[in-house]
Structure 1
């Protein structure tokens, strides 16, 4: 599981819940995977789990909307502040949300008004899969594939993975 680093258990600030890198801490996929490898786990036994859902927050101030922005609660979605990738795509379209790719964490977030959603899209997922390939991991999996919108991420990922 390379996700759920941030979520409903801390609603004081937004977060990249599946950050490949975190410049402010060691709570990231790269740190976790490299720690397993350093501890002696064969790369051929490691599978990177990627989310097909987003985590949401309600911004304290819509003018402050980056990763780590002050928040005052959960945003749209279910009672845990989650939305499937399909729901994120619909939210973005219906609310004319601003979508931002964050290079530092290799994640995507969108915001509209006080609603903020952190998630992975085809771009961030592609970079993460290439990272897994560079580490020579066994593969990757998605949780949960039924949340993929028009199979966008699944199709992109299957084109990238070379056995």
Structure 2
């Protein structure tokens, strides 16, 4: 009898191990921001990530890639590459542009000459700094980013041409180095953005896309709301409604491969001040707001007895309210729902903005365990 029980335990244990292995997510992509002062690259839990995107490199006046934060970049990049000793499967990518530094992408993509100049500089850069690929964070082709950005209607076609050129150059270098260099980009979810790029053609050139399913609401709005609600709720609201699910559904409708969609999850929230004590602070006017990391939320608010914890049963996200301050964020519970959504939809994985905002690794651990399917 004891031998039979022992045998059953061994079988169950092996089954659980295999189940974890099989269900391990294909991609967990984490952005690391150069300006982060809280978490050093060497503190990142590399075993729970498949890819790290270093943000951001800039575009110089000569339309070539250049270091964005030269006072810290070289040290940070060396530390990131050392993580590959801990996780030999880890890939590092340089992310170019972002919200603040997308002003010259239109010029970069404009001509065959400018595309060649930029692509050649990218190859030199990733070889020099031992990156495994490049992530293009153009916010945004044709329009929608900073008003100072250079934009053109032909950005739609030129973006495709730029990505094709990068793919060609990366493949040429890959043959020399005996490896596959990754090409990705960060993309928005609204219809205007999707109409301004050629997803059907881009799918051929990119390994995957980091879909920015956050910043759905924020201090730019007139009323408090959720940063990244998973689902659109049935509440009466004085402002527009949108959700992670609607954004991902937009991408799916284009026919873009699901396994190349990596869904964004924020490790930060938004804090709103001078909020009326009505409807638990939700959908109310406010005087000002700001971004706040999950770590700061835990440090300053989670255990404050003045704050009441809420969780929206439809949108599947939490918030905090003390009668004056409203905080929208993601926690372990909401990330569990998002991980299940990623698996249910057959997506390629999860993307994190940004690793330094969760310095104790609480959310990363939760995301990793939930996507693996093992607690």
Aligned counterparts of 2:249 and 2:302: Cα–Cα separation in 1? 37
Cα distance, 1:63 vs. partner?
A: 4.0
Match of 1:100 among 302, 307, 310: 310
1:87 correspondence with 2:301:
no
**Which structure has the highest helix share of the two?**
2
Other-structure match for 1:42: 257
Matches within 5 A, 1:5-154: 5-10=216-221, 12-23=222-233, 27-68=242-283, 70-75=284-289, 81-93=290-302, 95-96=304-305, 97-154=307-364
Cα distance, 1:59 vs. partner?
A: 4.3
Q: Which runs of 5+ in 2 are unaligned?
A: 1-211, 235-239
TM-score by length of 2: 0.39
Larger RCO, structure (CA 8 Å, separation 6 or more) = 1
Relative to structure 1, the CA distance from residue 95 to residue 74 in structure 2 (aligned partners, 3 Å threshold; closer, same or farther) is: farther
| Other structure's SS at 1:146 match | helix
RMSD of the TM alignment (CA)?
1.9
Residues 120-156 of structure 1 show CA distances to partners (whole Å, capped at 9, x for unaligned) of 0000011011101100000001111111152111101
- Which has the greater radius of gyration? 2
Other-structure match for 1:78: none
| Other structure's SS at 1:21 match | coil
Q: Which runs of 5+ in 1 are unaligned?
A: 76-80
Aligned counterparts of 1:5 and 1:93: Cα–Cα separation in 2? 23
Question: How many equivalent pairs are there?
Answer: 156
For the 8 Å contact 1:86–1:147, the answer to whether it is kept is: yes
**Which structure has the highest strand share of the two?**
1
TM-score by length of 1: 0.87
